[in-house]
Amino acid sequence: MYTLRQEPSLYTVKAVLILDNDGDRLYAKYYDDTYPTVKEQKAFEKNIFNKTHRTDSEIALLEGLTVVYKSNIDLFFYVIGSSHENELMLMAVLNCLFDSLSQMLRKNVERRALLENMEGLFLAVDEIVDGGVILESDPQQVVHRVALRGDDVPLTEQTVTQVLQSAKEQIKWSLLR
């Protein structure tokens, strides 16, 4: 009933999912270990798809989690949070994702167009949520940062090259351990 006061935290998003018309996964990013294995994740995705694809109700409580969702043509977008989370915050993430993609895909928010622009999707989600923290809620900002431009400012700084070099060494060292 009266829930234990949640610890105030920036970590608000548990997962962002995009499923196709058959409920199969097109994109999934889980930010915590609510569903630690791929098997459990896919079972969860199947469950929420079954419960939501026939209705256009926007929001539901499933498996003890708040699920906000939106569909368009043959795509289903989901943002998942704890049942104690502010539902409007989760909606803000969902809307930002959808609107950003809508701009990037020139309003063709559908499976085929999405599959032809997966890198845009990957980068967009990376701009919106980082490790479960909401990074950005304004689709304009997201599109701006993702903008698939061509050549850009070249990296000429000495310091950067140096860091790259030492980073490479670190990786070599850690991977061969």
Partner 1 sequence: RPRVASDPVAFSHLGSGSNPFQHLEKSAVLQEARIFNETPINPRRCLHILTKIIYLLNQGEHFGTTEATEAFFAMTRLFQSNDQTLRRMCYLTIKEMANISEDVIIVTSSSSYVFPMLSPQTTMLQAIERYMKQAIVDKVPSVSSSALVSSLHMVKMSYDVVKRWVNEAQEAASSDNVMVQYHALGLLYHLRKNDRLAVTKMLNKFTKSGLKSPFAYCMLIRIASKLLDETEGGHDSPLFDFIESCLRNKNEMVVYEAASAIVHMPNCTARELAPAVSVLQLFCSSPKAALRYAAVRTLNKVAMKHPSAVTACNLDLENLITDSNRSIATLAITTLLKTGSESSVDRLMKQISSFVSEISDEFKVVVVQAISALCQKYPRKHSVMMNFLSNMLRDDVNESVCLWLGGFDYKRAIVDCIISIIEENPESKETGLAHLCEFTRTATRPFAQVRKKGTAQNFKSAVSALAKFGAQNDDLLPSVLVLMQRCMMDSDDEVRDRATFYMNVLQQKQKALNAAYIFNGLSVSIPGLEKSLHQYTLEPLEKPFDMKTVPLATTPISEQKTDIAPVATSKLPERLAPSRQDIYQEQLAAVPEFHGLGPLFKSSEPVQLTEAETEYVVRCIKHTFARHMVFQFDCTNTLNDQLLQKVLVQMEPSESYEVIHYIPAATLPYSQPGSSYTLVRLPDDDPTAVSCTFSCTMKYLVKDCDPNTGEPDDDGYDDEYVLEDLEVTVADHIQKVLKPNFAAAWEEVGDEFEKEETFALASVRTLDEAVGNIISFLGMQPCERSDKVPENKNSHVLFLAGVFRGGHDVLVRARLALADGVTMQVTVRSGEETVVDVILASVG
Q: Which of 23, 68, 106, 158 binds partner 1 (CB under 8 A)?
A: 68
Q: Which of 32, 34, 46, 130 binds partner 1 (CB under 8 A)?
A: 130
Q: Give the interface size with partner 1 as a residue count (CB under 8 A).
A: 82
Q: Which of 92, 96, 101, 104 binds partner 1 (CB under 8 A)?
A: 92
CA end-to-end span of the chain: 50
- Under the binding rule (CB under 8 A), the answer on residue 168 touching partner 1 is yes
- Contact of 152 with 116, CB cutoff 8 Å: no
- Under the binding rule (CB under 8 A), the answer on residue 158 touching partner 1 is no
Q: Which 93-122 residues touch partner 1, going by CB under 8 A? A: 110-112, 115-116, 118-119, 122
- Contact of 69 with 58, CB cutoff 8 Å: yes
Instruction: Tell me which H or E stretch contains 40.
Output: helix 38-52
* Closest separation in Å from C-beta 74 to partner 1: 6
Q: Which of 23, 34, 46, 74 binds partner 1 (CB under 8 A)?
A: 74
Q: What does the alpha-carbon distance between residue 105 and residue 115 come to, in Å, rounded to a whole number?
A: 10
How does strand 15-20 pair with strand 75-82?
A: antiparallel
